[in-house]
């Protein structure tokens, strides 16, 4: 966009409904308006920012077929919500959003979940080179619970009361993270094969992932033996850093985001919150405007 960062600048750029509609049209139809009902059809421009598909006779606008379709809220509200939501490093709760916009908490909650539903596309792809992988368990600590709410035998890798999440980070690159049913090798192997290029170097905490020795180069730390990593120079002059610090740091940020902003997330919606976190991580070098544009282009 090439504009100054910040919400005040954003409101000046999109002061009314028309400016938002025009911008969405520009992103969606860079080479001219195309009917969502028949791409080969001629299109007629009508009143109130609407268009008519000649072949089908149906009316449409820039919002048709997107998250904004059939909404009762103005597009300007959606733009404001998206910008605020994407600009905050740890997200925005539905309660806070409802107070800021003067809408109900239920409406704010639905808006945020619709926005998250479009983030999964950024939590895919293939990683290569040097990859750190690890699992984490998201949920409250047993020691912090009231005595009548404590869960027995929930220490270590037990996840009776927690949601397991498997993550992969390419050093100096992107992250992919998926909610999984358990941390067994047969559950994690398909994710590794799908998202990590064969022959890559994978850094682990020593957990058995099954497939690694056959298709990848594995280097591990051993936290149980208090070995957290080392750096050395190979015979070829390559600097090799054995650690899983990046993925562990990402898990720390994920948990602080959930506990600090959302307080509690159900297992049913955990993947959407993980997608949200991964999107922020993968766009960490973008400005607020660039992140907003990237997300909006995906919708358009």
Give the pLDDT confidence score for residue 296 in this predicted structure: 92
Give the pLDDT confidence score for residue 47 in this predicted structure: 93
Instruction: List Cβ neighbours of 77 (8 Å cut-off, separation of 6 or more).
Output: 101, 103
Q: How far is CA 260 from CA 90, 148, 173, 268, in A?
A: 8, 24, 26, 20
Q: Higher-confidence residue: 71 or 254?
A: 254
Helix (H) or strand (E) holding 108: helix 105-117
pLDDT tens string 24-36: 999 999 999 999 9
DSSP secondary structure string for all residues of 173-199: S-EEEEE-S---HHHHHHHHHHHB-TT
Least confident of 110-124, 197-211, 255-269: 197-211
Beta bridge partners of 259: none
Give the pLDDT confidence score for residue 5 in this predicted structure: 66
DSSP secondary structure string for all residues of 148-172: GG--TT--TT--SSSEEEEEEEETT
Q: What is the largest CA-CA distance in the chain?
A: 71
Give the pLDDT confidence score for residue 221 in this predicted structure: 77
Which DSSP letter does residue 105 get? H
Q: Higher-confidence residue: 78 or 153?
A: 78
Sign of the four-CA dihedral 185, 130, 280, 298: negative
Beta bridge partners of 168: 133, 176
What span, in angstroms and rounded, lies between the C-alpha atoms of 79 and 83?
6
Give the pLDDT confidence score for residue 57 in this predicted structure: 96
Q: Give residue limits of the domains in the chain.
A: 122-282
Sheet of 201-204, strand order: 175-179, 163-170, 130-138, 201-204, 217-220
Residue 227, pLDDT > 60, answer: no
CB 166 within 8 A of CB 177: yes
Give the pLDDT confidence score for residue 206 in this predicted structure: 73
Give the pLDDT confidence score for residue 139 in this predicted structure: 77
pLDDT tens string 62-84: 999 888 988 888 999 999 999 98
């Amino acid at each position: 966009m090439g504009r100054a960062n910040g919400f005040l600048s954003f409101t000046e750029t999109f002061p009314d409904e028309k400016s938002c509609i025009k911008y969405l049209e520009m992103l969606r139809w860079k080479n001219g308006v195309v009917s969502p009902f028949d791409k080969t059809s001629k299109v007629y421009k009508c009143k109130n920012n609407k268009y008519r598909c000649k072949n089908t006779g149906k009316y449409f606008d820039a919002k048709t077929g997107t998250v904004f379709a059939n909404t009762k809220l103005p597009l300007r509200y959606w733009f404001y919500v998206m910008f605020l939501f994407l600009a905050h490093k740890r997200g925005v709760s539905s309660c806070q959003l409802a107070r800021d916009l003067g809408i109900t908490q239920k409406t704010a909650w639905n808006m945020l979940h619709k926005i998250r539903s479009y983030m999964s596309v950024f939590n895919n792809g293939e990683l290569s080179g040097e990859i750190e992988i690890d699992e984490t368990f998201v949920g409250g600590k047993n020691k912090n619970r009231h005595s009548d709410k404590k869960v027995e035998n929930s220490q270590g890798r037990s996840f009776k009361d927690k949601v397991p999440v498997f993550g992969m980070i390419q050093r100096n690159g992107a992250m992919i993270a998926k909610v999984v049913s358990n941390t067994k090798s047969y559950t994690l192997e398909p994710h590794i094969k799908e998202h990590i290029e064969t022959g890559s170097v994978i850094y682990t905490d020593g957990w058995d992932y099954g497939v690694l020795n056959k298709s990848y180069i594995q280097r591990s730390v051993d936290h149980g033996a208090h070995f957290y990593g080392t750096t050395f120079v190979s015979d070829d002059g390559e600097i090799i850093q054995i650690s899983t610090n990046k993925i562990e740091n990402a898990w720390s940020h994920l948990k602080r985001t959930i506990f600090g902003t959302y307080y509690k997330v159900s297992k049913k919606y955990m993947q959407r919150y993980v997608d949200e976190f991964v999107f922020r991580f993968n766009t960490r070098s973008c400005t607020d405007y660039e992140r907003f544009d990237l997300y909006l282009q995906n919708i358009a």
